[in-house]
Chain A
Amino acid sequence: QQQVKQSPQSLIVQKGGIPIINCAYENTAFDYFPWYQQFPGKGPALLIAIRPDVSEKKEGRFTISFNKSAKQFSLHIMDSQPGDSATYFCAASPVQSSASKIIFGSGTRLSIRP
C-alpha cells in the first residue's frame, strides 16, 4: 500500500497565488520529510525538508507545515511564479540512518498561469 499519500494529483494556480500540496503518512517511524521538485526531463531535486520536532519551516517562498499528531504535512508556495511550474513530490524517510531509503508520494503536477 502507498505509505505516503499526496494530493492533489494536479493543480493550476494563477501567478501570485498560493498553491498548497498536502501529504499524509501512517508510519510513525518516519523521521524526515523532504519535498522534491522535478522539472521535465530532469531528476527530482531536493527543495526543502523538515523534521517532526518543528511545526513549520520556511525557505524563501516555500513553506512546509507539519502536523505530527495528524500525521500530515503540506507545502505552500508564496507568490507563485510560472517558473515554479513543475511536479512536486512529498516524501518521508525512516529514522534508521541518513542513508535510508526515501518513500515518495505520487506527485503533484503544478502549473502556474501567467
Chain B
Amino acid sequence: DAGVIQSPRHEVTEMGQEVTLRCKPISGHDYLFWYRQTMMRGLELLIYFNNNVPIDDSGMPEDRFSAKMPNASFSTLKIQPSEPRDSAVYFCASRSSRDRSSYEQYFGPGTRLTVT
C-alpha cells in the first residue's frame, strides 16, 4: 500500500484565497483524522471521520474551516478565506477499527501551507 497520500505537499497562497487540502487514506481504514502542526500550538486534532461521517469537529478553529469525506478513499480540508495565521503543516492520518492491538494512526507526509 502507498500509505496515506496528501496533496499538495506545499501550498503558498495569498490572504483571502480559498485553500483545499486533499487526503487519500489507506485502503480499508475506516477512520480519518485531520491535524494541524505549528511551533506555537504543536499538533492539534481538527476533526475526525468514521465511515465517512464526521464524529468530532470540536478542534476546527472557526467557520472558515470545513472538512468533507464524500467517500471512503477521499477527504478534503478547506479554508475559506485563508489568513496568515493558518500557516502550518496539515496532516491527515487514518486507522482501522479492526486494529485493536495498537490503535496506531498512519500519518501522511503533510501539506505545508503558507498564507502571505
User: Are these two chains actual partners, yes or no?
Assistant: no
